[in-house]
Amino acid sequence: MTFRHKNTRRIEGLDSNVWVEFTKVAADPSIVNLGQGLPDISPPDYVKEELAKAAAVDRLNQYTRGFGHPSLVKALSQVYERVCGRKIDPFTDILVTVGAYGSLFSTIQALIEEGDEVIIIEPFYDCYEPMVKMAGAKPVFIPLRYKNDGNSASSADWVLDPAELANKFNSKTKAIILNTPHNPIGKVFNREELQVIADLCIKHDTLCISDEVYEWLVYKGNKHIKIATLPGMWERTVTIGSAGKTYSVTGWKLGWSIGPQNLIKHLQVVHQNTLYTCPTPLQEALAQAFGIDYKRMDDPDCYFYSLSRELESKRDRMAQLLQEAGLKPVIPDGGYFMIVDVSTLNVDLSDVDEKQPYDYKFVRWMITSKKLSAIPLSAFCGPETKRQFEKYIRFCFIKKDSTLDAAEVILKNWNKQTA
């Protein structure tokens, strides 16, 4: 029987995925999982209650408006109008998607095509590269580099070289993908840094896809600034947000794209031809949760701020544990990830006969011998920079105390178990 059916060109080479391997780890309860970015803390009670309430309403178990459940897009426009200081039309300027992942996909499919170049800042959330390739475009990478030789104590020390960045822009550059607060480093781009990017976008008439899923998770001394609020940027920026990261409900898979109608309308076309509508009861519950927190946006008890405070102390604890084990973590200014250079541990893996980068080998070794998991940083790099980042691994610290306690035990006993 003949069978000539292979995959389409658009997905050629896009089949492998770091998560498929490393999320299997989550299923093994004997492993302390600080790898994949998902909370093991509970979402707030009121969020769960709103979902129960929504599911009890008959109509809310059927299809809702494709581009976003009306009460949700209205709630989002309220919150973001306040944050951005501008009018945001809930029906034309917002699209609700299946997670921020779905927003990235809709944006790239809507606005990027063959012949385009898209600038991606390394290290990057791993899906940017395959999504740009699936759209037929060419990813152009630029690494964050630490500005001090050796001691990269803070995520703020990781910067873009403005001249190097400017060189990456040309007439083919359709978009730049910005991720702030940044995964995996935790960098919170400051106004000057954003202005450099904005100036280049305006000069070269480039779009900005701004992945801001960790927007509320910003630690003392730092402020999350939306590049869309800089002069000349609203009309060329799609800003992406996530319910999963905002409310610790990654399993709800709801996200949104916000921007000018002339861009969002194209995302809506993609959406109506890919999955059409997102789940209704989840959107309704999210709308209610946003309503509750919108009312207390001047109050420190607002979940957006209380979660951030909770995570800051986990961040500090994680950093301390790693430092006590003799490691030098890069302290993040935002997000819930922390990267650390493990080369100082001098774990010799040269006998592991694989062409894999060092960090992949290290993480696999650490999982089996230390029962602790993390994610190798070279998963977040383009081919040229893998060498540069292969000594780093990423830990996720949005974990309950008992998980961090278990990590502490492992790290404290690290040197006692050398082969």
Partner 1 sequence: MLRRVGPSLRHFLLERKSSAGYSSYSSEEKMSRPVQARRLEGIDKNIWVEFVKLAATYSTVNLGQGFPDFPPPDFLKKAFVRALSGENHMLHQYTRGFGHPPLVKILAQFFGKLLGRDVDPMTNVMVTVGAYQALFCCFQAFVDEGDEVIIIEPFFDCYEPMVKMAGGMPVFVQLRPKAPKDGQLMSSADWQLDPAELASKFSERTKAIVLNSPNNPLGKVFSREELEFIADLCVKHDVLCISDEVYEWLVYDGKEHIRIASLQGMWDRTVTIGSAGKSFSATGWKVGWTVGSNRLLQHLRTVHQNSAYHCATVAQEAVAQGFQRELELYGKPESYFIQLPKELQQKRDWLVQSLDAVGMKPIIPEGTYFLVADISEFKSDVPDVPDSDEPYDSRFAKWMVKNKGLAAIPLSAFYCGAHKNNYNHFIRFCFAKEEATLKAANDILQKWKREKTSP
Using the rule CB under 8 A, is 167 a contact of partner 1?
no
Report in angstroms how near the CB of residue 110 gets to partner 1 at its nearest.
6
Quote the CA–CA distance of 290 and 268 in Å, as a whole number.
Answer: 22
Report in angstroms how near the CB of residue 70 gets to partner 1 at its nearest.
10
Using the rule CB under 8 A, is 139 a contact of partner 1?
no
Name residues contacting partner 1, limited to 64-83 (CB under 8 A). 64-66
Per rule CB under 8 A, count of chain residues that contact partner 1: 82
Report in angstroms how near the CB of residue 54 gets to partner 1 at its nearest.
10
Answer positive or negative: Cα dihedral of 6, 8, 11, 12: positive
Using the rule CB under 8 A, is 92 a contact of partner 1?
no
Q: Which is nearer to partner 1, 50 or 212 (CB)?
A: 50
Using the rule CB under 8 A, is 147 a contact of partner 1?
no
Radius of gyration of the chain measured on its C-alpha atoms: 21
What one-character-per-residue DSSP string does 314-326 give? HHHHHHHHHHHTT
Report in angstroms how near the CB of residue 391 gets to partner 1 at its nearest.
27
Among 14, 84, 166, 349, the residue binding partner 1 under the rule CB under 8 A is 14
Collapsed DSSP state (helix, strand, coil) of residue 393:
strand
Using the rule CB under 8 A, is 11 a contact of partner 1?
yes
Query: Cβ distance 112 to 129 under 8 Å?
Result: no
Using the rule CB under 8 A, is 105 a contact of partner 1?
yes
Among 251, 297, 309, 316, the residue binding partner 1 under the rule CB under 8 A is 251
Strand ranges across the sheet with 117-122: 94-97, 255-258, 237-242, 207-211, 173-179, 117-122, 138-143
Query: Cβ distance 106 to 97 under 8 Å?
Result: yes
Q: Which is nearer to partner 1, 252 or 392 (CB)?
A: 252
Instruction: Give me the amino acid identity at 166.
Output: A
Among 145, 204, 328, 370, the residue binding partner 1 under the rule CB under 8 A is 204
Q: Which is nearer to partner 1, 137 or 338 (CB)?
A: 137
Among 74, 130, 157, 291, the residue binding partner 1 under the rule CB under 8 A is 130
Using the rule CB under 8 A, is 48 a contact of partner 1?
yes
Using the rule CB under 8 A, is 382 a contact of partner 1?
no
Helix axes 303-324, 280-295, angle to 10 degrees: 90
Using the rule CB under 8 A, is 404 a contact of partner 1?
no
Collapsed DSSP state (helix, strand, coil) of residue 252:
helix
Binding mask 17-36 for partner 1 (x = CB under 8 A): x-xx--x------------x
Closest CA to 46 of 291, 400, 309, 297: 291
Query: Cβ distance 223 to 156 under 8 Å?
Result: no
Using the rule CB under 8 A, is 10 a contact of partner 1?
yes
Using the rule CB under 8 A, is 232 a contact of partner 1?
no
Tell me the residue ranges of DSSP E strands in 145-289: 145-146, 158-159, 173-179, 207-211, 237-242, 255-258
Q: Which is nearer to partner 1, 112 or 144 (CB)?
A: 112
Quote the CA–CA distance of 404 and 318 in Å, as a whole number.
Answer: 7
Using the rule CB under 8 A, is 310 a contact of partner 1?
no
Report in angstroms how near the CB of residue 97 gets to partner 1 at its nearest.
8
Angle at the Cα of 187 from the Cα atoms of 410 and 226, rounded to 5 degrees: 140
Among 34, 75, 121, 135, the residue binding partner 1 under the rule CB under 8 A is 135
Among 207, 258, 331, 338, the residue binding partner 1 under the rule CB under 8 A is 207
Using the rule CB under 8 A, is 197 a contact of partner 1?
no
User: Using CB under 8 A, which of the segments 103-111, 299-307, 340-348, 371-379 binds partner 1?
Assistant: 103-111
Query: Cβ distance 2 to 338 under 8 Å?
Result: no
Using the rule CB under 8 A, is 15 a contact of partner 1?
yes
Quote the CA–CA distance of 208 and 214 in Å, as a whole number.
Answer: 17
Q: Which is nearer to partner 1, 112 or 178 (CB)?
A: 112
Determine the distance from the C-alpha atom of residue 251 to the mean position of all C-alpha atoms in its chain, rounded to a whole number.
15
